[in-house]
Amino acid sequence: MERLDVVELLQKLIRFDTTNPPGAEREAILWLKGLLEERGLAPELLARDPERPNLLVRIPGRGQAPPLLVYGHLDVVTTEGQEWSQPPFEGVLKDGFVWGRGALDMKGADAMFIVSLLEAHAAGELAGDVLLVLLSDEEAGGDYGAGWLVSQHPERFAGIKHALGEFGGFSLDIAGKRFYPVMVAEKQICWLELTFQGPAGHGSLIHRGGAMARLGRALTALDRKLTPVHVTPVVERMFREIAAALGGAARLAILSALKPALSDRVIAALGEGGRAFQPLFHNTVNATIVRGGEKINVIPGEVRLQLDGRLLPGFQPEDLIEELKQIIPVPFEARVVRHDPGPRDVDWTLFPLLKQALEQADPEGTAVPLLLSGVTDGRHFARLGIQTYGFTPMKLPAGFAFTKLIHAADERIPAEALHFGVDVLRRFYRSYGG
């Protein structure tokens, strides 16, 4: 059978418009099911909604290592309101990049996972079975994907303790040296709704200090102030390992970021790269939805503000609410809209093998652990005791705006990065269970 090319596979996946909502992942999933069946595997579909199935396929190994979970999602975020220089759903290959929605998040990784596993299986490189799972609905919370599978079909994951998923293993330049952060932990979803109250009245009169005014003061405070700095164990290890690889003055500067009084100043000095690190030191909130008022001539007595909050590992919603009370200078009532906790502790078992695979493929790079500022389906699998390592290896050009392109216009991935990822993943499979 003809060898599957990772670039061509990604182009094909991008051409399925799986924008979520509504998702409509079925066509892409069915196509992948056929592709895997052609290669002698027996995938199955499990679905809460027939239009949004999840694909599971057990790829047999030699029985010499515990089973491993490898998973990715096929849904993507909207392109609405964005100006693209290339069509977002055509998978154009131009200037050495594959362009399109999902190229980075995360159909590129899906393509790397699929190709690397098929090649490793054909070459007899899998020491243990690998459960490949291709999911729906990650971008909207996983209620039709990983969350549903974990709650309704936990038996499918029996015996699995470790997984590869998104995001990590992408290259990042710091002080002239290349690093590969590997995700070992992630922040938690903590969506909040704040309610501000004040006297209602007629719109023709002069009003001061009402619910709208309090909302305005709250938004201004959130724009100007940060919650307190917290140095969590994963971030401390990450920065110490970065510092050890740098040496000299750069080493001392990086280490000083671990002093809470200096953290924000040091991170800001890192420039664009530091923007990705700052959320790792804070519980964060961003105002996203405002609701209040029903008539243009009536002063509302109540206004509600929804916040996309993200908690550091080990923190609870009440901790974030207390931190907001220290920032927002007006009274409010807080309600937790959604809290998806993650694991407090990290299982480091596979990290040395992942680090080894990356550093063998790129001897000039250094792999370090990463606390991800976003969330992934890993939080769902954590409920089954499964440790996810965000491992989507990509050697990127210096200055490539990886984090800026995710969910943005002109999302793209270097074709060479896809081949690099397949190589690194196969190195890992050969060492796993060895």
Q: Which tokens is 294 given? A: 């029903």
- Enter the pTM of the model: 0.93
Among residues 43, 60, 44, which one has the least CA distance to residue 129? 60
DSSP conformation class of 19: B
Q: Residue 212 class from Cβ within 10 Å (0-12 exposed, 13-18 middle, 19+ buried)?
A: middle
Alpha-carbon 242 to chain mean position:
21
pLDDT tens per residue, the chain (434 residues)?
Answer: 678 999 999 999 999 999 999 999 999 999 999 999 999 999 999 999 999 999 999 999 999 999 999 999 999 999 999 999 999 999 999 999 999 999 999 999 999 999 999 999 999 999 999 999 999 999 999 999 999 999 999 999 999 999 999 989 999 988 889 999 999 999 999 999 999 999 999 989 898 999 999 999 999 999 999 999 999 999 999 999 999 999 888 899 899 999 999 999 988 887 766 778 999 999 999 999 999 999 999 999 999 999 999 999 999 999 999 999 999 999 999 999 999 998 879 999 999 999 999 999 999 999 999 999 999 999 999 999 999 999 999 999 988 888 889 999 999 999 999 999 999 999 999 999 87
Residues 129/433, Cβ–Cβ less than 8 Å: no
State the helix-helix crossing angle for 6-14 and 415-431, rounded to 10 degrees: 120
Q: Using CA atoms of 339, 262, 180, 246 in order, give the dihedral in degrees to the nearest 10.
A: -160
Which of 386, 399, 356, 327 has the alpha carbon at shortest distance from 150?
386
Residue of 162, 305, 165 lying closest to 221 (CA atoms): 305
Of 373, 377, 394, 397, the closest CA to residue 386 belongs to: 377
CB 200 within 8 A of CB 263: no
Give the C-alpha separation, 298 to 294, whole Å.
8
Structural domains of the chain ordered from first start: 6-167+376-431 (3.40.630.10), 187-340 (3.30.70.360)
